[in-house]
Structure 1
Amino acid sequence: MFNTAFLKKHYFNMLLLCFVLLMVFVPSAKAFMLRGLMEIGLFKPGTSAVTAEQRLAPAVDLSGIRFKDINGKVVDLGNLKGKVVFLNFWATWCPPCLAEMPSIQKLHTQFAADPDFVFLLVDADSKLPEAQQFMQKKKYSMPVYEVASNIPEQLFKGSLPTTIVFDKKGRISFNEEGAANYGHKKFIEFMLQLKNSEQ
């Protein structure tokens, strides 16, 4: 009798506690919740038209910033001038990273066949086999890399996920820490604007 009364009285509190524990200890549950919030319109990337100030900003020296794929192929950011580069630092244990992956896959699918775009998804833990296995399990087609040189703090301070987009001249046009919906129409328009910009 006492137990039933106690349960009825504290039912909501126990549900809330279970939910909190689930979010804390089960990364996939937290990722699922964040993905749901993205789909209802939260976590839009903060993009706007490229300003004159951004267009006139000096390009970052990207030479020597390198990443390596599972086959040992090395990509140097300095060799990617003339292309729009989407660079994302992530990890398989990071719920916000997992939450934004479907939207990055959507963006990648949109531009995969366009030679003006390069996608670099960098496993920040340098556990490339694990990261590759994750991509295959989820049927994601995005290329995965690990860090193969020093990364300036201007690009990556250690927060996951971190996403940077460089314009064709190697200038940082977008830099965001935290999860975002990169499949959003406005972000796709932003990427196309960078492709078509001559300045």
Structure 2
Amino acid sequence: MEVGLFQPSVSEGAKTYPVINNNSVAFKSEDGETISLEDLKGKVIFINFWATWCMPCIAEMAAINKMNQHFKNDVNFVVLMVDADSDFKKSIKFMSRKKYDLKVFIPATEIPGVMFQHSLPTTLLINKKGQIVFKHEGAAAFNNRKFLEFVEKQLKE
């Protein structure tokens, strides 16, 4: 299954989000490393909250992987695939089985409601200053030209 209908809307200045305390939001990787959003300041961060049982999440995964491949050589772009399964090992096996080059994380702290309100999938783009500049609930084709250009613009700022 792949997303073909829904395109993420990246209209400039259409929505502003409350500032989050980047020091208070952290994620843990499968190797036990904890990383906070503050640690990633100066980078553009793509965060996707997903689950293996969520069909819309699965539908957009190939597009996210393609987007990740597009930016793979840019050290200022980070993708955090945040497991909402509560089964970290299952999520890691899913990525491996599908041959996606996407690293899985789990929340290491409480996630603020401005970032995630338990709707799956939820995707955010955080700019180099640590501000949410894009939020989308539902599946989307994140490898489309407009979204890639939006990310490239964030990387240049």
The bucket for the TM-score relative to the shorter chain is over 0.9
1:53–1:93 CA distance, 2 compared to 1 (3 A): closer
Q: State how 1:122-161 maps to structure 2 within 5 Å.
A: 122-161=82-121
Q: For residue 93 of structure 2, what is the amino acid of its counterpart?
A: Q
1:142–1:168 CA distance, 2 compared to 1 (3 A): same
**What is the total number of aligned residue pairs between the two structures?**
157
Secondary structure of residue in 1 paired with 2:68: helix
Name the larger-Rg structure. 1
Q: Residue 8 of structure 2 aligns with which residue?
A: 45
Give 1:194's match in structure 2, choosing from 134, 150, 154: 154
Secondary structure of residue in 1 paired with 2:23: coil
Give 1:111's match in structure 2, choosing from 62, 66, 71: 71
Structure 2: 5+ residue stretches without partners? none
Q: For residue 127 of structure 2, what is the amino acid of its counterpart?
A: D
CA contact (8 A) 1:96 1:178 kept: yes
1:148–1:109 CA distance, 2 compared to 1 (3 A): same
Calculate the TM-score normalised by the size of structure 2. Answer: 0.94
Q: State how 1:10-89 maps to structure 2 within 5 Å.
A: 32=1, 35=2, 38-39=3-4, 42-48=5-11, 50-51=12-13, 59-89=19-49
Q: CA–CA distance in 1 between the matches of 2:26 and 2:133?
A: 20
1:126–1:141 CA distance, 2 compared to 1 (3 A): same
Q: CA deviation at 1:52?
A: 9.3
CA contact (8 A) 1:84 1:195 kept: yes
- Determine what percentage of the aligned residue pairs are the same residue: 43
CA contact (8 A) 2:82 2:104 kept: yes
Q: CA–CA distance in 1 between the matches of 2:31 and 2:40?
A: 19
Q: CA–CA distance in 2 between the matches of 1:53 and 1:132?
A: 33
CA contact (8 A) 2:49 2:123 kept: yes
Q: CA deviation at 1:129?
A: 0.7
Higher relative contact order (CA 8 A, sep 6+): 2
Q: Residue 175 of structure 1 aligns with which residue?
A: 135
Q: CA–CA distance in 1 between the matches of 2:14 and 2:7?
A: 23
Q: CA–CA distance in 2 between the matches of 1:52 and 1:147?
A: 28
* 1:100 is the counterpart of 2:60: yes
Structure 1: 5+ residue stretches without partners? 1-31
Q: CA deviation at 1:134?
A: 0.3
